[in-house]
């Protein structure tokens, strides 16, 4: 052993809290396969800096995994000889004193995200965050041949069953539950036809199936009335879905005024009333004892029921939206109207649960007391329970959405943005992480020689690169090219922010000031967490 090696061993014993047996290790014993490879690569002057950068940039990670001071190379004597120089400003990345033998180091707190002080350093994300991105386990392999990542494919539009068409550009879906209801209507209406038109025989079920299809066509017309009104008011409609009990038009935005809200809700029941009148006139023109007469009578009654039921003043029914508009107009507060209509809707749900079976038992709905019993009683009770559950759930959802929209202005891009550091495309990942961790940043922006942002490095891609490969992986191989939709203003907030992110789905967005200066990077995961907190926050 040379004198220099002995001095290094003494310095190491004085500066480390680790056990004494490490003093007797030889460099060959201390080397791991990765360390040996790093030692061989460091023989040339050009490559000598890369392992050092790796040791500095992954200092926090190595401390967590090894339970002691970070060390990724076998150059123990040189590190011990340089222990006295740690107070020098150039060596800021080395800790002033050895960390504790176990537990992760306290990460630096990003100054622009005060609500997230416990986030781990960039590149040391928790394992559970990697699970949803199983395809990014080795992103450097996927991008080695093509360079920068391609723009992620836009997620498919939400589906709701079988696509039937796109009237007015809005997709119409038939949910699988519709087929259950269609079969139920065919069976019930077919039994009624057997008493009214006994000569049909088995063909009555074919007529009953036609009635079920015609009835849901009337429901589609009802929903198209809402859709046309929404498009007239410049409100986007995501889709129309025909489901178990009727249909629903998914309008993505709220009306701007109570007057528009009232009109938007009223046009559906109004058109159902118009259809009921049309079928009544058609019924008067044919013989009531024929198949067309029975079908027209059934469609007239069913559309009348749809109109009256939807006019009940409780959310989520159209009458509830009309009540909301009225209260909104009186109080000037949309939230007040929503709360009033939602609680009326819950009261309505309880009334349906209790009142519908009672009305059936008393014969008010057209059945005699002798005909109601046994299976019919169970069916009526089940139908009432399903209707009550739908109304109650819809009222609760309306309350939650109103609460969310009330808190949406609190979602601001400026407060949710992560601090970012600019790096050039050829910068090794280890060096980029070192700079980010020193600055307390949580994101990397790839810039060109003029400092203009060109791409963003995805956090999931960084986590997927093993630590021993980071000194040899350029950040450009993990970057996603910036598009116009991925640049968002730091002044965006609320629903405007959500609409901007929804227009260009991505995992990260570049946040810029009005003058184009880089403010930071906005993660879609951060927005989602803030969204969930807003939903759970009480009024």
What is the full DSSP assignment across 117-148? Answer: TTPPPTT---GGGTGGGGGGSSHHHHTTTT-S
Q: 115-119, 167-171, 397-401, 441-445: which range is least confident on average?
A: 115-119
Amino acid 217: pLDDT: 93
Position 78 confidence tier, pLDDT thresholds 50, 70, 90: very low
At residue 498, does pLDDT exceed 80?
A: yes
In this prediction, residues 424-428 reach a mean pLDDT of 94
In this prediction, residues 359-372 reach a mean pLDDT of 59
CA distances (Å), origin 450, targets 48, 424, 444, 514, 519: 28, 10, 16, 19, 17
Amino acid 363: pLDDT: 63
At residue 346, does pLDDT exceed 70?
A: yes
The dihedral through the CA atoms of 179, 181, 186, 187 has a sign that is positive
With beta carbons less than 8 A apart as the criterion, state whether 384 and 427 touch. Answer: no
CB proximity list for 107: less than 8 A, separation 6 or greater: 60, 118, 119, 120, 121, 437
The dihedral through the CA atoms of 435, 90, 109, 101 has a sign that is positive
With beta carbons less than 8 A apart as the criterion, state whether 499 and 481 touch. Answer: no
Angle formed by the axes of helices 375-407 and 524-536, to 10°? 120
Encode pLDDT of 179-213 as tens digits: 888 898 899 888 888 888 888 888 889 999 999 99
Distance of CA 241 to the CA centre of its chain: 21
At residue 282, does pLDDT exceed 70?
A: yes
Position 367 confidence tier, pLDDT thresholds 50, 70, 90: low
With beta carbons less than 8 A apart as the criterion, state whether 419 and 513 touch. Answer: no
Amino acid 234: pLDDT: 92
Position 124 confidence tier, pLDDT thresholds 50, 70, 90: low
Amino acid 460: pLDDT: 87
Ramachandran region, residue 527 (left: φ > 0; alpha: ψ -120 to 50; beta: rest): alpha
Distance, CA of 502 to CA of 523 (rounded, Å): 13
At residue 33, does pLDDT exceed 60?
A: no
The bridge status of strand 487-489 relative to strand 508-512 is parallel
- Across-strand partners of 446? 423, 455
The C-alpha torsion from 275 through 280 and 282 to 286, rounded to 10°, is 160
Mean pLDDT taken over the chain? 74
Amino acid 399: pLDDT: 84
In this prediction, residues 47-66 reach a mean pLDDT of 38
Amino acid 383: pLDDT: 80
At residue 511, does pLDDT exceed 50?
A: yes
At residue 21, does pLDDT exceed 70?
A: no
CA distances (Å), origin 202, targets 206, 291, 391: 8, 14, 37
Ramachandran region, residue 363 (left: φ > 0; alpha: ψ -120 to 50; beta: rest): left
Any idea which residue has 């049909």 for tokens? 200
Classify 474 as helix, strand or coil.
Answer: strand
Amino acid 97: pLDDT: 40
Please provide residue 17's backbone torsions phi and psi, each rounded to the nearest 5 degrees.
-95, 0
Q: 58-62, 307-311, 459-463: which range is least confident on average?
A: 58-62
In this prediction, residues 427-447 reach a mean pLDDT of 93
At residue 24, does pLDDT exceed 70?
A: no
Distance of CA 167 to the CA centre of its chain: 27
Any idea which residue has 């039921």 for tokens? 309
Amino acid 376: pLDDT: 65
At residue 370, does pLDDT exceed 70?
A: no
């Amino acid at each position: 052993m040379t004198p220099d090696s002995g001095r290094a061993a003494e310095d190491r014993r004085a500066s480390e809290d680790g056990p004494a047996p490490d003093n007797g290790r030889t460099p060959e014993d201390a080397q791991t396969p990765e360390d040996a490879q790093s030692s061989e690569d460091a023989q040339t002057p050009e490559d000598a800096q890369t392992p050092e950068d790796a040791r500095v940039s992954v200092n926090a990670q190595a401390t967590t995994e090894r339970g002691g001071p970070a060390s990724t190379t076998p150059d123990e004597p040189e590190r011990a000889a340089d222990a006295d120089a740690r107070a020098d400003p150039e060596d800021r990345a080395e800790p002033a004193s050895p960390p504790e033998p176990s537990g992760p180091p306290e990460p630096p707190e990003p100054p622009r995200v005060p609500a997230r002080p416990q986030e781990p350093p960039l590149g040391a994300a928790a394992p559970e965050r990697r699970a949803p991105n199983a395809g990014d386990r080795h992103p450097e392999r996927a991008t080695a041949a093509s360079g920068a990542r391609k723009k992620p494919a836009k997620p498919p539009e939400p589906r709701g069953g079988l696509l039937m068409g796109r009237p007015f550009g809005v997709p119409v879906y038939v949910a699988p539950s519709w087929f259950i209801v269609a079969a139920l209507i065919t069976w019930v209406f077919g039994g009624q036809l057997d008493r009214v038109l006994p000569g049909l025989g088995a063909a009555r079920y074919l007529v009953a199936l036609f009635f079920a299809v015609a009835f849901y066509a009337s429901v589609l017309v009802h929903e198209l009335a809402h859709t046309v009104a929404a498009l007239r008011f410049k409100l986007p409609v995501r889709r129309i879905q025909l489901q178990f009990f009727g249909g629903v038009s998914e309008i993505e935005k709220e009306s701007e005024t109570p007057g528009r809200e009232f009109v938007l809700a009223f046009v559906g029941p109004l058109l159902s009333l118009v259809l009921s009148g049309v079928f009544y006139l058609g019924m008067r023109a044919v013989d009531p004892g024929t198949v067309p007469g029975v079908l027209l009578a059934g469609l007239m009654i069913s559309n009348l029921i749809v109109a009256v039921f939807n006019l009940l003043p409780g959310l989520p029914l159209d009458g509830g939206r009309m009540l909301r508009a009225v209260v909104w107009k009186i109080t000037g507060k949309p939230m007040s109207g929503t709360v009033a209509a939602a609680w009326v809707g819950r009261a309505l749900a309880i009334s349906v649960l209790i009142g519908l079976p009672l009305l059936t038992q008393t014969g008010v709905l057209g059945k005699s007391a002798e005909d109601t019993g046994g299976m019919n009683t169970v069916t009526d009770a089940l139908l009432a329970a399903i209707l009550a559950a739908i109304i109650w759930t819809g009222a609760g959802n309306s309350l939650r959405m109103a609460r969310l929209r009330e808190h949406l202005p609190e979602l601001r891009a400026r407060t949710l943005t992560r601090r970012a550091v600019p790096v050039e495309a050829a910068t090794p990942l280890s060096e980029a992480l070192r700079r980010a961790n020193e600055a307390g940043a949580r994101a990397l922006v790839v810039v060109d020689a003029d400092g203009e942002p060109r791409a963003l490095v995805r956090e999931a891609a960084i986590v997927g690169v093993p630590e021993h490969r980071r000194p040899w992986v350029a950040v450009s191989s993990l970057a996603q090219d910036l598009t116009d939709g991925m640049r968002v203003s730091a002044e965006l907030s609320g629903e405007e922010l959500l609409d901007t992110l929804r227009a260009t789905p991505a995992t990260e967005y570049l946040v810029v000031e009005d003058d184009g200066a880089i403010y930071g990077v906005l993660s879609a995961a951060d927005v989602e967490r803030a969204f969930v907190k807003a939903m759970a926050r009480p009024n």
